[in-house]
Amino acid sequence: MIVTRFAPSPTGRLHVGNVRTALLNWLLARQAGGRFLLRLDDTDSARSTEAFAQSIRDDLAWLGMAPDAEEKQSDRMARYEAVLEQLAAAGHVYRAYETPDELDLKRKVLLGRGLPPVYDRAALALTDDDHARLAAEGRHPHWRFRLSADLPHNWTDLVRGPSHIDPASLSDPVIRRADGSWLYMLPSVIDDVDMGVTHVVRGEDHVTNTGIQLQMFAAMGAAAPLFGHAALLTGADGALSKRLGSIGVAEFRDRGIEPIAVKALLARLGTSLPVEPLTSDAPLIAAFDIGHLGRATARFDELELERLNAAILHHFDHAAVAGRTQLSAAEWNLVRGNISSVAQADIWKPVLSGDIAAPAMAAEDRAFLADAAEILAALPFDEAVWGALTAALKEKTGRKGKPLFQPLRLALTGQPHGPDMGAMLPLIGQARALQRLRAAI
């Protein structure tokens, strides 16, 4: 069974890049009938909060992407400690004591010599006596994972194809700080092993991390998941944007964007598949193929999302918005082509079945509307009434085009634009229509 995971840190709200990562993993799992897990990487106790954790759960639920299970790293500290001891016994991790200032000096010396700023592994030369002396001095070690050319460092990426790192060009990564807190790398590997994760899709900024983590999987004697690295999102102008780090589910919801619109756009960004106004997840799941993701950066355009949202609303039946609008099914079907959010639909409720303020009309239009009221009162009020009314008015007054239609629309609806009057007038009703014409006169 395919098992994927989304692993945010509960130190803030989800932004659009996070949502895309979650979506790709969700689609991969759903298409295969697998499992989609939420793992809260909350080892940063100073910044992680339950409020942010709950906001992540709520956002996924709003998107229709509730996970099949949830884990929190803060519940697993004993497990990380046990694995660290095993790796230390096998020589895969080691203690080091350099301070940040000492490490910075080493990097500057190497760069000054034209050499890559790779950690020199000086800590490997420390003896047991050295460790005892440093401990007596009150020095606490940080822990590093020992990279090796003998451990795996090549993989076939689900998006990028053949990929690799050069272990010799990288510093042995710090996996645990001197204060005992964990960095991202090793706990993530331990979690993937214990949770049976088979596929990991994440941003291409993690490519080097993947190469390092493959060595950690091997050091644990565990099979690694398959990895895919999606190109990062850019703004509409093709540049990386701070805006992308702030816009997220909360803003989508506040702007009246539908969850399916978010998914329909983000699922197709960076692929050759068209962005379509879909009304359910089924077509997205059926067409999903991680191999369709390209290497080029994917452009996220907020205007494109708004246009897509409006197009999707035009396809929604009344059942899709039940409980979110006051409109009847007939009223919804009439106005859905003229709105960009469900909230806008109720603007039309008083127009269709309530009271509107009489608009100010020019003198020549008031005479024209008097003719309209006289004619409308004598017409059969059926589905063809608008056509019959305008035809009779055209013959009597000689008006045509905008001078014919615009005063009628304004008097009958109070709006200069809107849905087709031929469909709207029967819903307004004869008595209400006559009252409005006479009020405008």
Which residues neighbour 3 within 8 Å (Cβ) at sequence distance 6 or greater?
A: 29, 34, 35, 37, 195, 196, 197, 198, 199
Which residues neighbour 68 within 8 Å (Cβ) at sequence distance 6 or greater?
A: 29, 35, 36, 37
What's the order of all strands across the beta sheet hosting 35-40? 3-6, 35-40, 69-72
Q: What is the dihedral of CA 131, 133, 137, 143, to 10 degrees?
A: -10
pLDDT digits (tens, 9 = 90+) for 206-243: 999 999 999 999 999 999 999 999 999 988 776 666 67
pLDDT at 353: 93
Name the maximum alpha-carbon separation found in the chain: 110
Single-letter code of the amino acid located at 438: R
Whether the Cβ atoms of residue 15 and residue 245 lie closer than 8 Å to each other? yes
pLDDT digits (tens, 9 = 90+) for 367-402: 999 999 999 999 999 999 999 999 999 999 999 999
Which DSSP helix (H) or strand (E) runs through 156?
Answer: strand 154-157
Average pLDDT over residues 304-326: 96
pLDDT at 366: 95
**36 strand-pairing partners:** 4
pLDDT at 173: 98
**200 strand-pairing partners:** 227
* Range 131-163 burial, b when 16+ CB lie within 10 A, else e: eeeeeeeeeebbbbbbbbeebbbebebbbbeeb
pLDDT at 247: 86
Average pLDDT over residues 311-327: 96
- Distance between CA 41 and CA 55 in Å, rounded? 14
Which of 395, 392, 389 shows the shortest CA–CA distance to 409? Answer: 389
pLDDT digits (tens, 9 = 90+) for 416-440: 999 999 999 999 999 999 999 999 9
Whether the Cβ atoms of residue 361 and residue 416 lie closer than 8 Å to each other? no
- Distance between CA 14 and CA 335 in Å, rounded? 33
Which of 313, 356, 336, 317 shows the shortest CA–CA distance to 418? Answer: 336
Q: What global pTM score does this model have? A: 0.91
Helix, strand, or coil (residue 410):
helix
pLDDT digits (tens, 9 = 90+) for 50-104: 999 999 999 999 999 999 999 999 999 999 999 999 999 999 999 999 999 999 9
Q: Which domains does the chain have, with CATH numbers?
A: 319-352 (no CATH), 355-440 (1.10.10.350)
Instruction: Report residue 198 CA to chain centroid gap.
Output: 23
- Distance between CA 36 and CA 25 in Å, rounded? 7
- Distance between CA 229 and CA 159 in Å, rounded? 6
Which DSSP helix (H) or strand (E) runs through 94?
Answer: strand 93-96
Whether the Cβ atoms of residue 6 and residue 38 lie closer than 8 Å to each other? yes
Q: What would you report as the CA-atom Rg of the chain, rounded to the nearest whole angstrom?
A: 32
Q: What is the percent of the chain where pLDDT is above 70?
A: 99
If phi > 0 it is left, if psi is from -120 to 50 it is alpha, else beta; for residue 192 that is alpha
Average pLDDT over residues 246-255: 89
How high does pLDDT run on average in the chain? Answer: 95
pLDDT digits (tens, 9 = 90+) for 83-95: 999 999 999 999 9
What's the token pair of residue 129? 């006596």
Whether the Cβ atoms of residue 142 and residue 92 lie closer than 8 Å to each other? no
Q: Which residue has the tokens 């055209």?
A: 394
- Distance between CA 51 and CA 39 in Å, rounded? 15
Which residues neighbour 355 within 8 Å (Cβ) at sequence distance 6 or greater?
A: none
- Distance between CA 205 and CA 349 in Å, rounded? 49
Helix, strand, or coil (residue 104):
helix
